[in-house]
A and B are shown apart, each in its own frame.
Chain A
Amino acid sequence: MKNLKIKILLLAALLAASQLAVAQPKVGIDGFVRNYTGMLYENGDFNMLQNTLNLNFNLMGDKMALKANPMLYLYGIDSLDFRMREIYLDLYFKSVDIRVGKQQIVWGKADGVFITDIVSPLNLTEFLLPDFDEIRIGVYAAKIDYYFGNSTLEAIWKPIYAGNELPPPGSIWYKPPEFPAPPTFDYSKEKIKPSLDNSEFYLKYSLSSSAIDFDIMGAYTWDQTPSMYIEKQIEFDSLGNPILTGLLITPEHHRLWVGGGSFTSTVKSFVIRGEAAYYNGKYFQTADPKAEGALVEKDYIHYVVGLDYGVGDLTLSAQFIQKVIFNYDDYLDEEHYANTMTFLARYEAMRQTLHLELFSYIGLNYGDALIRPTVVYDFSDSFSIKLGANIFVGDERGMFGRYDDNSMIYMKFKYNF
């Protein structure tokens, strides 16, 4: 209820401010309609029958702007999912911009990986397959940017917690964990009440210069995916031997301190990028019998280095990503070093009306991969067709190989207006 009140107040503030601040605003409406059909090529099932309407309403004046981005997803014939992806008000001052409302906030220099880019949580209900602007979930936040010289100081207050959305049971992307005994879930601790105490705070300094662009960030936030506190339920047989009869699992979020930064620079035809963050307060699942709730707190570092190269109509890009857990022990459920690479090759043909792309994630620990070839043809300035495949290969223990039953081909028709 309190959550709802805050949302209503924010919306009311947006509307009231828009009435007060608009002087000869420019009004714009644009968006797209898209049809998306996907088929699993293992069994021919249509795993995706989706029609989408995306609308962007913009009201822009010299000292303010208002944006609303409702999005409608129609699955199958009548399963409708409405999302207000963004609705916010901008106020512009000489050296300060303020944005309040529901907004997507994107940080960092890496592509397709989320290291310092932790303000907006992710919609992972279809794994990493949707376009990146659709993966991010808008957050209720107040954001202030202060500009001085080539520098920007950005502060964010997020009063309402939003976590990653995970695939629900029944989804082809849901992989239930294996338990040694029947689990019972207690969701009483999963919700985080909106309050000042539970707010999240983010701060970033960034510099954009001829030689280099870089930023340094810090955050006091919540882990966007809950840890599973596991309590064993034990009974004793007639001989007095303990028997594991069940597990009580309590999902719970923990506070995280995060510090990091990113940079990008150019050398001739190359663009060099890097991004790293240190996470303090993360709880990992462990098999250590001495660990309370099968959880243990460890710090870790997550970083990426990348190189882009462009020549003519060809663009090539590669990134190496590593996650390292400190004070590692063998009881942990995760690898000590998790190594991943991404590759991108993109070619523009026919006066940039035919776009060929090959993007892939490669898990180096288990030799698994997600390979994503696409061909897009622009029939006109507004209308395009996309043919693509999502190919999962490799060891099923890897985060990509585990979905090897979900390899699919798909087609998207898109009309922009």
Chain B
Amino acid sequence: MKTLKITLATAVILLAGGLANRMTAQQLTGREIIEKVYNLPTGEDQTSDLTMTLINKSGSERVRKIKQFTRDFGNVEKSIMFFTAPADVKNTSFMNWSYDSDKPDDQWIYLPALKKVKRISSDSKSDYFMGSDFTYDDLGDRKVDDDTHKLLREETIDGVDYYVVESIPKDEDYMYSKTVTWIRKDNFIGLKKEFYDEDGELLKILKIKKFEEISGFLVITHSEMENVQKNHRTKMELDNIKINTGISASKFTERMMMRGI
């Protein structure tokens, strides 16, 4: 199985919310808008059940289910995921330690067939996660300073006001030439994001289908990424979301990876 990396930060890919961020600020720059998205308060720890449905162009579906735990330890965010379906990856677990600094993530995977925890490399942020249409970067790992942001325009759709921000990677070899994000003015929730390939052609569209307020935090619970060039898509749904329950630090260890849930 491929290397895996996702955290519950998935839920806030495009989400910036909370009363503190609600401001009318027409003078904001593209970077300031994206910063507000990035700095969204997400709680100290989070637990959820993730269901990913991969749909190919003929409409057939594959389902992956994951139980995940995340906790912010200040300068490091630790997450651990337990795969519950499909059957051939059941009991596989994955742990990621992500640092605020430029230090690369530390990652380990436990494969029950091998009965051992293996350290893996985390350098490929452009890899697709479990065969889905989401890359690891799409799932929330990309830093604000990785791109140059520009406010393109403001739009009103169905009575809701949006900022439309273009983000161009500073790394010219990056897999996307640019992204364009529609961010709600009232709560800084991004409801749509377009990804353009290296030739400048539209590659993927991310749409937020549903978000909820849980324990005072706005959380995206249903999103969908569509690859318009290959005509396949991935639905991502979060259930049983719990925030700030006080997950023990001992949860994020090899011991727990091997024990499972």
Listed in ascending order, the chain A residues whose CB lies under 8 Å from chain B are 30, 32, 60, 65, 90, 92, 97, 104-109, 131-133, 136, 145, 147, 150, 152, 208, 210, 213, 264-266, 268-271, 308-313, 348, 351-353, 378, 380-382, 384, 416-417
Contacts and interface: CB of A to CB of B under 8 A. Distances in A.
Contact of A352 (B2, B254, B255): B2
Contacts of B254: 152, 208
Given A213-B119, A271-B119, A381-B86, A312 B127 contact: yes
Interface stretch (B108-116, B191-199, B237-245): B108-116
Interface residues of B, number: 42
Nearest to A145: B255
B24 interface: no
Given A147-B253, A313-B127, A352-B2, A268 B121 contact: yes
Contacts of B108: 208, 213
B130 A352 contact: yes
Contacts of A382: 86-88
Contacts of A348: 2, 131
Interface in B88-130: 88, 90, 97, 103-104, 106, 108, 113-124, 126-128, 130
Contact of A268 (B56, B117, B119, B123): B123
Contact of A266 (B86, B106, B250, B253): B106
B63 interface: yes
25 contacts: A90-B259, A97-B255, A105-B115, A106-B114, A106-B115, A133-B115, A208-B117, A208-B253, A264-B119, A266-B104, A266-B106, A271-B119, A308-B120, A308-B121, A312-B126, A313-B127, A351-B132, A353-B131, A380-B62, A381-B63, A381-B86, A382-B86, A382-B88, A416-B86, A416-B87
Contacts of A105: 115
Interface of B: 1-3, 54, 56, 62-63, 85-88, 90, 97, 103-104, 106, 108, 113-124, 126-128, 130-132, 232, 250, 253-255, 259-260
Nearest to B115: A106
Contacts of A264: 118-119
Given A97-B259, A312-B126, 12 more contacts: A30-B87, A108-B116, A132-B113, A210-B106, A266-B104, A268-B104, A310-B121, A311-B124, A352-B130, A384-B88, A416-B90, A417-B87
B88 A416 contact: yes
Contact of B255 (A106, A152, A384, A417): A152
Contacts of A30: 87, 90
Given A132-B114, A210-B106, A313 B2 contact: yes
A210 B56 CA distance: 38
A310 B120 contact: yes
Of all A-B residue pairs in the complex, the 6 with the closest CB atoms, nearest first, are A352-B131, A381-B86, A416-B87, A351-B131, A269-B123, A106-B115
Contacts of A210: 97, 103, 106
Nearest to B131: A352
A382 B117 CA distance: 24
A216 B50 CA distance: 38
